[in-house]
Amino acid sequence: MHGFGTTTFGELNAADYDTLHNPDTTKLSVDAIAQIAGDGAQILELAIGSGRMALPLAEMGFEISGIEGSTEMVDLLRKKSGGNDIPIVIGDYADVAIEGPFDHVFLVYNTLFNLPSQEAQLRCFKNVADRLNKNGTFLIETFVPDFSDFENGQRMRTMKIDMHSAWIEAATHDPVNQMFEFQRIRITPEGVKLVPLPMRYAWPSEIDLMAKLAGLQLKSRWGDWQGSPFTNQSKMHVTVYEK
């Protein structure tokens, strides 16, 4: 999507991120990461955002650092309790340098797919592998691509409707470039707000290969944050790689 860069997500979403992006899996995912990382682990969160995951982990006593592309998102985090104590480097998590090494790195909430190409996603894996201690782990959470609602490469969904507003999501699918392009259209009495989001998806097998090329091996894969087995019915996966 031409014009969508590393800072765009925050520019468009920071104002209402915490209200609209509050999945009921946060506690489960924080607890799972704490367990996988292990007591005393030095942790790095890629795309730390407004601290949804990092702040509870810091409260549990972990030393946690972050990388984030958007200063608007980091401003949200800094205003919260404990937010000023977390070291954060502003930059593209595919490339940016950050002091390490770390015992555990994680990238959740489908954010791997915010990187716009296979090359960028591969650079991300290499960047992580370079910063992990021996036997360090890298956890990612992404959806499993699903085109079942698409017809002729496009889909429209009504996300919310009430007396004064309609939120509609238009999406296109490009199977060659493995791209979903979303346009969230919010029609309210104040006008129309457009919130675009491109996502370059990858199958679990391709993600495993990117990890392997970076020197990481598959350690475990779940079909949800409860630790259910990953099957051909799974809508998402939580995967851990090891150096």
141 binds ligand SAM (CB under 6 A): no
Q: What are phi and psi of 159, to 5 degrees?
A: -90, -35
Contact of 76 with 10, CB cutoff 8 Å = no
Q: Which stretch binds ligand SAM (CB under 6 A): 34-42, 44-52, 57-65, 81-89?
A: 44-52
∠ CA 197-229-173 to the nearest 5 degrees?
25
137 binds ligand SAM (CB under 6 A): no
CB nearer to ligand SAM: give 9 or 241.
9
> Could you give the string, one character per residue 95-114, with x where binding to ligand SAM holds by CB under 6 A and - elsewhere?
-------------xx-x--x
> Could you give the string, one character per residue 21-40, with x where binding to ligand SAM holds by CB under 6 A and - elsewhere?
x-------------------
Residues in contact with ligand SAM, counted by CB under 6 A, come to a total of 22
49 binds ligand SAM (CB under 6 A): yes
Whole-angstrom distance, CA of residue 139 vs CA of residue 157: 31
6 binds ligand SAM (CB under 6 A): yes
3-state SS string for 104-155: EEEECCCHHHHCCCHHHHHHHHHHHHHHEEEEEEEEEEEECCCCCCCECCEE
Whole-angstrom distance, CA of residue 126 vs CA of residue 175: 25
9 binds ligand SAM (CB under 6 A): yes
Please list the residues that pair with 170 across neighbouring strands: 156, 183
- Shortest approach of ligand SAM to residue 194 CB, angstroms? 17
- Shortest approach of ligand SAM to residue 141 CB, angstroms? 9
Tokens of 8: 């765009």
Site of interaction with ligand SAM (CB under 6 A): 6, 9-10, 21, 47-49, 52-53, 67-70, 73, 92-94, 108-109, 111, 114-115
